[in-house]
């Protein structure tokens, strides 16, 4: 018997993953994250419990299924910076693009999803952990970009400032969402907020980790 092409197998896996995540999110919103069980998610998605945990080892990842993209986003922006562009400018450009696109990874997740996170101590703690992981990934990217010696504290210090800026702006998006603002209105507010927040970092980081022309 001929095996299925890898592309088809991967496509089916992705469909299964998306189905599980969609059913899980619906149940989390309807019932609350803490009250929803893996068994209920498996039944809704018509898969075995083991299938759910194979795709999502942590229950939190069923709700925050873009966590890997979130964690790597700042480091990737620095890695992709243009010649003559500093880390600060690349991150500001990437954030402005995310606001323009109203990207869920940047926080534009809608009121139901945002309330689900706010109402769950477990998810709230997980989001904090993901912010910490994102900052650490950024520190590593900055160290690589500047050729810093192992143990050099400067990339960590810069990442702490840049990560904090993104954390504050993420929280701002969540606050406005929960206050009843739609995404278009939030984007206008946050674009102005971002200009002020990133502006505060210019005196110390305007030229840090600038890529050679």
Domains of the chain: 6-58 (1.10.10.60), 67-205 (1.10.357)
pLDDT of res. 197: 98
Contact (CB, 8 A) for 141 and 78: yes
Q: Coil, strand or helix: which one is 43?
A: helix
pLDDT of res. 4: 52
- pLDDT of 9 over the 90 cut: no
Q: Is 51 exposed, middle or buried (0-12, 13-18, 19+ CB in 10 A)?
A: middle
Question: What is the per-residue pLDDT across 27-36, written as a single tens digit (0 to 9) for each?
Answer: 999 999 999 9
Question: What is the per-residue pLDDT across 138-179, written as a single tens digit (0 to 9) for each?
Answer: 999 999 999 999 999 999 999 999 999 999 999 999 999 999
Q: 33 is written with which tokens?
A: 């994250």
Q: Which residues of 157-190 are buried (b: 16+ CB within 10 A; e: fewer)?
A: ebbeebbebbbebbebbbebbeeebebeebbeeb
- pLDDT of 184 over the 60 cut: yes
- pLDDT of 60 over the 80 cut: yes
Per 3-state DSSP, the chain is made up of helix, strand and coil in percentages (nearest 5) of 75, 0, 25
Q: 110 is written with which tokens?
A: 């809608």
Closest residue by Cα to residue 37 from 118, 111, 45: 45
pLDDT of res. 11: 86
């Amino acid at each position: 018997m001929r095996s299925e092409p890898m592309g088809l197998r991967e496509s089916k896996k992705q469909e299964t993953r998306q189905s599980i995540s969609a059913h899980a999110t619906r149940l989390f919103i309807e019932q609350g994250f803490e009250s929803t069980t893996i068994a209920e998610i498996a039944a809704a998605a018509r898969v075995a419990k083991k299938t759910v945990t194979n795709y999502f080892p942590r229950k939190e990842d069923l709700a925050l299924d873009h966590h890997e993209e979130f964690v790597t986003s700042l480091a990737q922006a620095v890695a992709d910076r243009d010649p003559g562009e500093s880390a600060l400018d690349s991150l500001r450009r990437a954030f402005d693009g995310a606001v323009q696109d109203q990207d869920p990874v940047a926080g534009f997740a809608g009121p139901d999803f945002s309330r689900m996170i706010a109402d769950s101590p477990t998810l709230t703690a997980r989001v904090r952990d993901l912010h910490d992981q994102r900052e650490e990934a950024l520190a590593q990217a900055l160290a690589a970009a500047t050729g810093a010696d192992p143990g050099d504290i400067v990339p960590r210090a810069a990442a702490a400032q840049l990560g904090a800026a993104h954390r504050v702006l993420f929280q701002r998006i969540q606050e406005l969402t929960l206050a009843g603002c739609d995404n278009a209105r939030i984007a206008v507010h946050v674009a102005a907020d971002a200009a002020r927040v990133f502006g505060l970092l210019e005196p110390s980081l305007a030229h840090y980790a600038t890529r050679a022309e």
